Every structure is written in C-alpha cells, then in structure tokens.
Amino acid sequence: MKLRTLVRDGLYLNWALPAAAVPPPPPPLSYELHSAGGRDYVFASALLFRQQGLHLPALPMLRVSYPQANLRLYILDGERMPAVLFRSMLVPAWVSPAARLLGRQPVESARFRYPRPSEDPDPEAGEWRWEVRRGEALAVTARRAAPAVGEGPRLGSWEATVRYFRDRRRGYAEVGDRLRRIETEHPPAPVWPMAAELTDASLLTRCLPLGASDGDSGWPPLHSAWLCPEIPFVFELGTVRGLDLGSGRLPQAAASSRSGF
C-alpha cells in the first residue's frame, strides 16, 4: 500500500556524533562511519516537518495533514545500502493510534509549534522558530544563510553533503523485538542553507543519550542545517518487513565505509 504526501518546510539539523558514544545498532545494520582527527563519527539528524495532504492514491479526496519530527542515524543495512535508523518518531496525539495500527511505526505523541518559511521565501525574512515538546523540548531558531559546515567530518561540497543525508530510500525502526523496513521515493528538491541555533536540546538527550567519549559527553554543536521548502514523497507500507531481532541479540560492532576531511 502506497501513501503519498507533500513534506513541507522540512528543517534538517545534522550532527557528527563520536561513534564510541552512540549505542550499537540492531543487527544486521551497521553505522556508516567517517574518520576525522583520529576519531570515528556517526551522523545523526533531527528532521522537523509538516506532512501535507497525506493520502492513498486510490482515495485522493481523503487527506490528512500534521506536523512531525524524527531523530535518525545514518547506517548501512544488511545489503550494504545507505539507509536511516529511526531512533524516535514524534507526531500529534490524534495521529498516534493510526500510525501504530496502519504503519506499525513506534511513534510517540508530542506537541509542536512550527513556522511556515515556504510562505515567506524572502532571504531577508528574518528568523523562524521551531519547537517540539514531549516533556523535554527541542527548540531551534534558524534563518537563511550561506552554506556552512561546522563541527565534524567533511563530506565534500555543500551539494554532496546534502545528497549524503537525503539520498536514502530505506528506513528502519525497532518495533518491539522486530526490525521493520520502509521503502521510500522522493525526487531532488530545492534546499535553503540555514544558520540554526538550538535554544533547548533536552529532548535530544532523552531520545538518544550519549555515553562519554574521550572525556566528552552530551551533544556537540551542529554540523550543518538546511530547509527543504517542499518534497513530494511516497512511502510503501506494503513492503514493510519484519526482521526478528531475537531475545538474545548481541551488540554489533560498527562497520562502514569511511571518509576523512
């Protein structure tokens, strides 16, 4: 069963996390590691966006729209394909029952306050503010800016950096003792480079606590940020697959491709 939607005002917030500080992924997944300064890093993103007009192609008049947020880690799957591992999926409370029942997604309920930058595309429009709250909060202010990369490994040009995070058509999520896969389709889309500042990051720590690594703890500064005004998006619920993790699952050593500065 295919679902179609338009993802609006998708804010990508990206970090390079020390690999030693991140919990191991469930097998057969492995982190896609990148080396810099003698350390290995795993990339993570918080994606804040609005689903607009989510519908079945056979029922185009029946549509729903709502805000959403997810926290994802960048992995290679058992076939060595670039993919994402969803660490957290947040939706409004009224969406949660259907997402769990129909999509078999491990969603949690949250409250959202999102702007609509695509309705005011002027580069001088000023700052926008996003907030996601589930007890703790993720709050960020951002404005349009020149492309820039902060702390962590380089992934090539700005265009190559954007492609690294966006060109992934498989997503995985742990649902109980099962690992489920979702196939997606989405075309290239315009990107606005953003300068972003987190004013509250406590929700990140709740969703993905980091262990100490070489004396460091907590989330590092942002690696990069951008906004996609809109992305036509298709995902296939019929190809969601369950892989039995087993009760005796052992942590898997991270294995990956590597790149430096």
Q: 258 in a domain, yes or no?
A: no
* Any domain includes 94: yes
Return the structure tokens found at 22: 């991140």
Quick check: 205 pLDDT over 60? yes
Pairing of strands 128-134, 136-144: antiparallel
Residue 159: what pLDDT? Answer: 96
- Predicted local confidence at residue 56, as pLDDT: 65
Question: Using one digit for the tens of pLDDT, what is the confidence trace for 73-97?
Answer: 999 999 999 999 999 999 999 998 8
Return mean pLDDT, the chain: 85
Structural domain of 10: 2-244
Q: Is residue 212 part of a domain?
A: yes
Task: Answer whether residue 77 is part of any domain.
Answer: yes
Q: Is residue 252 part of a domain?
A: no
B/e letters for 53-65, b = 16+ CB within 10 Å, e = fewer, are: ebeeeeeeeeeee
- Only one residue has tokens 């995985």, namely 172
Which residues are 171's β-sheet partners? 84, 182
> Residue holding tokens 């460091």?
216
**Residue whose token pair is 């590691």:** 33
| CATH code of the domain in which 158 resides | 2.40.400
Q: Residue 257 and residue 71: Cα distance in Å, rounded?
A: 22
Tokens 């489920």 found at: 180
| Residue 241 pLDDT > 70 | no
How confident is the model over 144-160, as pLDDT tens digits? Answer: 999 999 989 999 999 99
Reference 176, options 256, 244, 77; nearest CA is 244
Tell me how many domains the chain contains.
1
Q: Do 31 and 254 touch, CB atoms closer than 8 A?
A: yes
Token code pair at residue 206: 């709740």
In a domain, 249, yes or no: no
Please name the helix (run of DSSP H) or strand (run of DSSP E) that holds residue 18, with its range, or none.
strand 2-18
120 inside domain:
yes
Tell me how far apart the terminal alpha carbons of the chain are, to the nearest angstrom.
42
Q: Extract the tokens encoding 116.
A: 């609509």
Residue type for position 260: G
Integer Cα distance of 16 and 221 in angstroms: 9
Confidence of residue 252 (pLDDT cuts 50, 70, 90): very low
Residue ranges of alpha helices (H) inside the chain are 96-101, 158-166, 202-207
Predicted local distance difference test score (pLDDT) of residue 22: 95
Q: Is residue 232 part of a domain?
A: yes
d(CA 2, CA 180): 16
